[in-house]
Structure 1
């Protein structure tokens, strides 16, 4: 866990005036979370990042890592236990890839066998064949491959905290997306506490558990990405997230969030009864379940008007379904692919959780609800910001 308490950095200019590069920042990033720092150039996000491992010495406030004040820890020891990734990668050109990956483990006294095993393990996480690449030098790798090595090098000594300063910014869009996906999968396995500086709102939405937006050295908003998009703290945040912020939310909201309850009946229900239920709800279809209560298809109203029989006689199989944890962007894409106005939401055990429709998606996005909204219903800002408001 990383906690910043009133963190401040002041620089004195040649004329004697002082400039607050970072002004009284308070925030807490829980263990295993990814927090992305966002904001325009010169807003203080990189300075804040570098104060965490004391590459820049704070002028005031404290940084706590797992409850320990970093000011009380030897700088070299602190940095060896915090992974650090930079945009320029910074691989040593005279070292092999294996030597680059194991720089910190070797400084910590790991033996050669343990270092090699760790390097091979990490290489497999980014889909690089260790037999092929460990003995190569950085110049023999592509830019995307070098960036992958830069990321796993920071993880080599298994640090609990990882700091990343625009780690994917210099990579082409295709490689960037691939590396982001690989990093996200690694994070799901390793559960590091990560703080990442970025200028890309889409990257923050994709990767972050929390987003911190900076402006002029102040923390303007600190929230779950969906809440940031749904409830920007001010016009600056709103402009920064973009005019398509509602569409961006499709990546964050799950089908289970936007699903609405819908009646189900077993297949042995009479058509007369099924039709009455649809008439009562003004519905064009009714989901049917098997003897175990699992959703297996649906009945159309026009079919229910047929004389006699039971609902199962007119069962139509679902053309496609949605899982509760699928994001709405995937769900909408599937709706258009199958020309469907609704999808049943069915979990891995076949349980029917409701249905998601184009109307229910629009209702959710316009309702004011958001995923992961932090306490106090919105932005968490530094006391200095609150006082200035």
Structure 2
């Protein structure tokens, strides 16, 4: 969808010296994905963003949208078909909220009915009552409310591409998290192709499908967030993502990624056989599944040791907690600590047993060098 091909921007200083703000940046962002540009102040990330909609003209290189070089597209037409959100929000103070939201659709010739329907749809997405807010002016809204309007205004014309320059940076932490969550939910519905500038590594790994780390105008690393945290390319990237980068990965890795698949048994397995299976696996428990591989429960070594005869079904304990395959490891570990357990079965929405996740399997995954980026690429 978006490709930057050897994109560069050079400025000439008063003394004639040439300064490269952006130095031969190349990357591709797939349709429907969020890419976050990350890096310290002055690294070239905002300049790169603004060259995409030609607010800044490139010195060299190309920007391609769906394979078309944007230099061949009329600037006004290009910008009307690319949503743009900035940190300062940029709402027009003399226009009502409804007029602000619909400014681009009206320029594109949408009729009043279509504009109103789009406004109602977008206001619902950010949980703002149209009857209460549409006739108000920006000065009558809080900072968080204005930022929400700024985001949905960029979405109003249903442009396939959205550029966001530190869109949540000026919002207080509580509102920021709320707006991030709302935006993420909107993105799951709308599937826009988004490039966002941020200075916040936590925001980048929370929202991004890909993260681009910039330094002194150069693209240092471009990767899936988990791959970035698992394998920083150099000391600069490692310092930028933080010393706690392994713990940050807990939000990105799913239970299904870190799960193992131990041997299970049917309810009619004998207690002696159950003990043998636990000995073979050196575990203190054995998961029991039915003929359809649905989790029935588990038996423990302590409870069946010394017993002879009978079937495991006589001593099965039902599972009181479990992990869904898509739950992140931070949630999984929280459940484990809350219930004072070192393991949980991984069970899907249909009740099928997919394996188990343990504190050891989590540690093993995080230290293995594997990442979700590798799995998704495969």
**Same fold, TM-score > 0.5, yes or no:** yes
SS of alignment partner, residue 236 of structure 1: helix
1:114-263 superposed matches below 5 A: 114-263=114-263
Partner Cα separation in structure 2 for residue 84 and residue 45 of structure 1: 15
| Gap change, CA 1:100 and 1:213, over 3 Å in 2 | same
**1:27 matched residue in structure 2:** 27
| Gap change, CA 1:157 and 1:198, over 3 Å in 2 | same
**1:82 matched residue in structure 2:** 82
Native 8 Å contact 1:266 1:293 kept in 2? no
Native 8 Å contact 1:319 1:338 kept in 2? no
Any unmatched runs of 5+ in structure 2? none
SS of alignment partner, residue 237 of structure 1: helix
**2:271 matched residue in structure 1:** 271
**1:381 matched residue in structure 2:** none
| Gap change, CA 1:375 and 1:26, over 3 Å in 2 | farther
Native 8 Å contact 1:12 1:19 kept in 2? yes
TM-align CA RMSD: 1.3
1:327-366 superposed matches below 5 A: 327-366=328-367
**2:95 matched residue in structure 1:** 95
Confirm or deny that 1:285 pairs with 2:285: yes
State which drifts further: 307-316 or 37-46. Answer: 307-316
Partner Cα separation in structure 2 for residue 133 and residue 83 of structure 1: 22
Q: TM-score, normalised by structure 2?
A: 0.98
Deviations 1:298-317 (A, max 9, x none): 10012222232111111111
| Gap change, CA 1:159 and 1:129, over 3 Å in 2 | same
Q: TM-score, normalised by structure 1?
A: 0.95
SS of alignment partner, residue 353 of structure 1: strand
**1:296 matched residue in structure 2:** 296
C-alpha displacement of 1:94? 1.1
**1:17 matched residue in structure 2:** 17
| Gap change, CA 1:373 and 1:293, over 3 Å in 2 | closer
Deviations 1:27-59 (A, max 9, x none): 000100000000000000000000000000000
SS of alignment partner, residue 154 of structure 2: helix
Deviations 1:295-353 (A, max 9, x none): 02110012222232111111111120001111100000110011111010111111111
Confirm or deny that 1:68 pairs with 2:68: yes
Partner Cα separation in structure 2 for residue 94 and residue 155 of structure 1: 21
Native 8 Å contact 1:224 1:374 kept in 2? no
**1:383 matched residue in structure 2:** none
| Gap change, CA 1:180 and 1:117, over 3 Å in 2 | same
C-alpha displacement of 1:241? 0.3
Partner Cα separation in structure 2 for residue 292 and residue 239 of structure 1: 49
C-alpha displacement of 1:136? 1.1
Partner Cα separation in structure 1 for residue 91 and residue 316 of structure 2: 61
Deviations 1:168-211 (A, max 9, x none): 00000000000000000000000000000000000000000000
C-alpha displacement of 1:290? 2.8
SS of alignment partner, residue 266 of structure 1: coil
Partner Cα separation in structure 2 for residue 349 and residue 160 of structure 1: 35
Partner Cα separation in structure 2 for residue 373 and residue 90 of structure 1: 39
Any unmatched runs of 5+ in structure 1? 378-389
